[in-house]
Amino acid sequence: MNEDLLTVDLWDLPSLDLADVSQLPHEPGIYAAYLNRRILYIAAALSDIRNSWFRQKLSQHFQDLGPVKVAYQVISQVSPSELETLRKRLIVTYDPQYNGKSQQVVKEYRAVIQQLKSENRSLKAVLKKERAAHQMALCQLKIHLVSQLLTELETSLEEAKHLEDWMGKDHTQRSLGAVVATLGDISGVLAVFHLSETEPKSQ
């Protein structure tokens, strides 16, 4: 590469205010938009700096940021590959806000975040279904328990000579209490299950 290209310093180049970019030269070279001491964008033009700027409509991108300036350097008699190599080297050196490495990292980070959010929504949906299925399984287990308790109560009632004797048995009272408590648990599980079924689906 031409030795002069290795010493290009963007801060030493001539520059124009954003309002005056129509004065950019119709010649090949490199240019950079910057705000204060922060490089925003670096590009190379193979044939015409001015046309390259307006073709990308860069003024529209930068006009609301503040007093943006455009530095430029006419570079003739170099191959396209040399100009591209210079552009890449300057991007590595100055890390412009809009097309530097930091911006690429931000894009990749945002893509990862979006993927994680999507996977998180899917996971929540799966967990919700699993939780509902688990609650129904518990409900079925409790219903089976109530059936067993009621069977025991019927058996003890058949064996008792009088209803008073049956009601007076300790194990009978405990069984009745267990039935009532279990029925309450079942009602609670079913209430939660029906509530989850009627919740509005997230968009």
pTM: 0.53
What average pLDDT does the segment 24-50 reach? Answer: 95
Q: Which two tokens mark 38?
A: 């922060």
Q: What is the DSSP annotation of 20-85?
A: GGGGS-SS-EEEEEEETTEEEEEEEESS-HHHHHHHTTHHHHHTTTSS-EEEEEE--S--HHHHHH
Sketch the domain layout of the chain as residue ranges. 3-97, 125-198
Q: CATH homologous superfamily of domain 3-97?
A: GIY-YIG endonuclease (3.40.1440.10)
Residue 34 confidence (pLDDT) above 90:
yes
| % of the chain exceeding 70 in pLDDT | 56
| CA distances to 32, 70, 151, 195 from 36, in Å | 13, 11, 86, 58
More confident residue, 147 or 19: 19
